[in-house]
Structure 1
Amino acid sequence: MITAATVLQLSRQLLEVPPAGYLEAAADCIHELIPSDDVVWIQGNWRDDSFTVWRRSLRGRDASAEQILRCGYQSPVVQSCIQTPVDLSPRRLSDLSAPDHNAAAVRQAQQCIGREQLCLMVNVYSPIAGRCWVITRDDTDFSDREMADAEQILPVLYLLDHFHHPGPTPTPAGLSVRRAGLTTREGQVVDLLTTGMTAAAIGRILGISERTVSKHVQNAYDKLGVHDRLLVAADRRSADHLRIPPPRERVPDLAGT
């Protein structure tokens, strides 16, 4: 079982990795916490067929972005993301492989990526575009305990994605201008604040003092033109159209401090 201390160590370790090595470092950490055959990072958009795929493979799979594009769209995992794009909860292929799914598409996705799949969405910028990590195994399915572990590390991967990919996402008119005034650190604090974490918990994740967190929060409030956590959360939801699991479902030891 992944503990709060493990999550804190993971976040600090990965935040110190330079951008060029962050995917490899993150994949190694994911593999250590949730043993796998492959760890795949995918950035894709089925609307314009643009894909970037990075893979840490122990099985020697070398599926191209084009192959993933061909087999991926009809896969249960992708269809689940399209049907509920605001839900960033971990998705296990075996939970989605109901009889009504296209069996051929399931087999193609398994041959291309891996027999058992656990998908962690970290950014959705349209119903058919986003970034995710896919953890795969051929021998055994992912257990309920590993699903719980995936929920524990998801906030760290979500934060890292925004840290290393700060580019614009579709936002309502005017909001992107207001968000543009935030520094990188203020953006990190706001992202964690809207998950329900306290200043103390945010400080432990980012390795800064609670007082410094409070200063960043106040600066962000001033720049966003809001005055409390609920309004910031409303701004972020309208901007990113995302749902992440409530903190009590992810890191209870942190969320309650």
Structure 2
Amino acid sequence: MDIRVVVQEVSYQGQAVLEHSAYLEVVHDCLRRLIDADHIAWWRQDDRVIQTWGYPDDVYPGPEAFGVAIHQHPIILRYRSRASTMRPARISDCRTRSELMSDDFYNDYMRSMRMNHQLMLCTARPEKLTGGSGWGLSRESGDFTDQDVFGAHAIWPVIRSLDRFALPWPSPPGFDEGRSRAGLTQREADIMVLIARGASAQQIASLRRISVTTVRKHIQNIYAKLGVHDRILAVVKAHELGIVEFPAREAK
């Protein structure tokens, strides 16, 4: 498997997908081709959603698992304790075998769900009371190899960017009313959301397959309609109108 090909594919396909479940399927398929795993899961803690592939019905990790995992999962605890470390990690990188065998969370939760070995790609920083967001790959037997970790490191920056900029998020309750009040077109509102997430004009152009010149023209129109002259004030105004929510802190 050529890692570069898979990374390029997830970047190209992920940017083109605007529907939530289709986007997750694109990333899942690329991860599955890159790294062998029994189970794969994507989660986002803020709205307690989880999508899984390969889990038997009797061990399905429902949303209620979040309340336990965000406080006790060895990899999430590692991310919290090492603020500068957000790169993919195996559970075996965080605990020795003997430590895991005496860990209640590992024995009562992970082993019971046949997740004896796990590799995590975190896309949003876990905070004190949240588990952030990301992808977890699990196996019942055989730990993930150094080559698996190398592949995870290669694809992680792309997935992290896609989760932040390309992943369709639910619109705020006042989105349609706010867009109408501001007089923004659907395209302008879409670009305003990407601006609020911190996307540059070049990133927006890549995500929406339009030229940078076109993006900048849309941004000029947005500023004029909102009565502002820069990105910060545009985000503040759009937030006041209910078009965007203030972005979560970026993972490092």
TM over 0.5: yes
Q: CA RMSD in A?
A: 4.4
Q: Distance in 1 between matches of 2:251 and 2:235?
A: 12
User: Could you list the runs of 5+ residues in structure 2 that have no partner in the other structure?
Assistant: 183-187, 240-244
Equivalent residue in structure 1 for 2:14, among 11, 15, 20 = 11
Please say which of residues 135-144 and 116-125 is displaced more in the overlay: 116-125
Kept after mapping to 2: 8 A contact 1:41/1:134: yes
Alignment deviations for residues 229-255 of structure 1 (CA, whole Å, 9 cap, x no partner): x8889999x93341234xxxxxxxxxx
Q: Distance in 1 between matches of 2:150 and 2:210?
A: 33
User: How many equivalent pairs are there?
Assistant: 222
Q: Distance in 2 between matches of 1:211 and 1:166?
A: 26
Kept after mapping to 2: 8 A contact 1:44/1:129: yes
Q: Which residue of 1 aligns with 2:106?
A: 106
Q: Secondary structure at the match of 2:251?
A: coil
Alignment deviations for residues 47-92 of structure 1 (CA, whole Å, 9 cap, x no partner): xxx84432111777733326734752311233345557x8793442
Q: Secondary structure at the match of 1:244?
A: coil
Q: Secondary structure at the match of 2:205?
A: helix
| Structure 2 residue 165 is matched with structure 1 residue 159 | yes
Q: Which residue of 2 aligns with 1:53?
A: 50
Q: Secondary structure at the match of 1:132?
A: strand
Alignment deviations for residues 192-248 of structure 1 (CA, whole Å, 9 cap, x no partner): 53xxx5x344312321111122123334555383526x8889999x93341234xxx
Kept after mapping to 2: 8 A contact 1:121/1:131: yes
Alignment of 1:16-35 (within 5 A): 18-19=19-20, 21-35=22-36
Q: TM-score, normalised by structure 2?
A: 0.63
Q: Secondary structure at the match of 1:135?
A: strand
Q: Distance in 1 between matches of 2:152 and 2:227?
A: 38
Q: Which residue of 1 aligns with 2:92?
A: 94
Alignment of 1:1-257 (within 5 A): 1-2=3-4, 5-15=8-18, 18-19=19-20, 21-44=22-45, 51-57=48-54, 62-65=59-62, 68-69=65-66, 71-72=68-69, 73-80=71-78, 89-92=86-89, 93-97=91-95, 103-111=103-111, 112=113, 114=115, 115-122=117-124, 127-128=129-130, 130-137=132-139, 138-141=141-144, 142-161=148-167, 163-167=168-172, 183-193=189-199, 197=200, 199-221=201-223, 223=226, 225-227=228-230, 239-245=246-252
Alignment deviations for residues 138-162 of structure 1 (CA, whole Å, 9 cap, x no partner): 423242342232122211122233x
The verdict on how the C-alpha distance between 1:109 and 1:8 changes in structure 2, with shifts beyond 3 A counting, is same
Q: TM-score, normalised by structure 1?
A: 0.62
Q: Distance in 2 between matches of 1:106 and 1:184?
A: 42
Alignment deviations for residues 110-135 of structure 1 (CA, whole Å, 9 cap, x no partner): 32362122132348798326443322
User: Could you list the runs of 5+ residues in structure 1 that have no partner in the other structure?
Assistant: 169-176, 246-257
> Radius of gyration: which is bigger?
2
* Percent identity (aligned): 15
Q: Distance in 2 between matches of 1:121 and 1:215?
A: 31
Q: Secondary structure at the match of 2:197?
A: helix
